[in-house]
Structure formats: C-alpha cells, structure tokens
Structure 1
Amino acid sequence: MIFNMELHNDISTIIKNNINFHVLKRGVDEQIRCDIQNKVFEDEGRIPLTLEDIYYDELQNYYYDNGAIFIKKDKEYIGYGQIIIENKTTPVVVNFGIIKKYRGNGYSKLLLTYLIKISYLKGFQNIKKS
C-alpha cells in the first residue's frame, strides 16, 4: 500500500494548459486503454494486456464507470488511472501511470489529484492507492 488518505476536505484540482481528462466510454475507448497500459507498464517479463482483459475488467463488481480516466495533453492520450471500489465501500487507485516520454513533468500529480477529487465528490470518506 502506497497511501491511504482520508477525504474530509475538498481538494483543488490543478489546471495546466493543454491538459484535460477524459472518462473511458465503454464500447469505444477500450483499445486506447489497452495501448496506454501496455506502454506504461511495458517490461520484458510482462505479458501485454489484450482487449479481452479490458472487457473482463469492466465486468467485475469493483469496476466504477466514472473512475476510468485518461489524461490528455493537447489531443494525445498520455496516461491512465482508474478508481475501483473495494468491498463496495472504498475507492482504490489502480492501473495508474503516465507514458514514459511524458514522465517528469508533473502529469501524474495532475491525474492523481483528479482521481482523488472524483472520490471526494462521490462522497467517499477515504481513498487508497495499491
């Protein structure tokens, strides 16, 4: 566990020029998610995700439709982060990352802040990152 944060107060989202967020649209954006996650977590010993893996994830009880978030710079997808709901009570940030060539520019902070804000606005009392 990297962190467990209590959500008692609203947090300000950070606004940066040319950065926006996009909620994954089921039946439309799965290939984009698959490609981004494979780029983010690329490793010699890792088996790449398939489109079927993404569809399977969407069918799970923990899946939260409004918590599957892309970050875009201009019109290019540069990362992905996801909130799942553990035990129907606790949001957990998973599948989080920024494509390698965009790392080191503060984009992960923007994405994480956005995910925390979603959880707060949904009325959750805390959030975890696994």
Structure 2
Amino acid sequence: MQYPAKVLLAWGEAISGNREIRDWLMQNGFPELALTCHALQLDDSARSWLMANQHSHLMALVSGTEGNAQAIQWLDKFGFNYLKDVALGADNNDEAVTRLMKSGQREWAGIALKIRSVKNHIESENNDMHKISRR
C-alpha cells in the first residue's frame, strides 16, 4: 500500500476533521482514505464499504486502533507492517510510533498520532457521564 507523501499528509488532515480535504480525497481517486475517516468515527456504512471494495487492510487498521488483537495479527500475517504499527500507535502504543519514525516512516507515524487523537477523543466522550453520546 503506497501513497504519495502529500496524499498521506492530506489524509492526516482529513482524519483530524478537515471535511474539504476529506471530500477532495473522495473525489480524486482516494475514496478508501476518505471512507476510512468515516470508519474511524464508527460509521458502519463506511466500514462495510471498505470490506466490500477490497480494502480489508484499512478495515483491519480501523479495528486494530480499537484494540482488536486479531486485526493486528491479520495485518502482520499479510505483511502490512506499517499499518500494524499505525494501528498500535493509534491505540496508544508509543513504541510502535517510535518504530515508524526510526524506519523513516514519518508520514505513517503522523497518521498514527492523528488517529490516536480522534480515537482518544471518542473514548473520552463516551466515558463522560455528563454527556450523551451521539454514537
């Protein structure tokens, strides 16, 4: 799975909530990245689309960020090493982010940290007894 560095940087911004960039990804040949943003936000239709359109590696990434050990094992088994470390890093594993940085994968490390921020925010919202979750 290879994307130009500029696309990965754009994806990171879309993950962080930039709708214009997410829409640009959707309309310019990267719908899987745009829909992964939705899948990270617990959108079941986006998750189904990823699976139905041969992007199971991205769905495994999403599941791995949610602590699914089987998804991490799947990524490892099928050689998606960077995605495995992105998922682990997004699930608050600092060693995985360090591995990405040491292997020269700064963009992927950045993606991991962007996803971490989103997932930790969702978790915080869900655990706040003073708020009613929209999810």
Report if TM-score (shorter chain) is over 0.5.
no
Determine which structure has the larger helix proportion and give its number.
Answer: 2
Given the two structures, how large is their TM-score scaled by the length of structure 1?
Answer: 0.31
Higher relative contact order (CA 8 A, sep 6+): 1
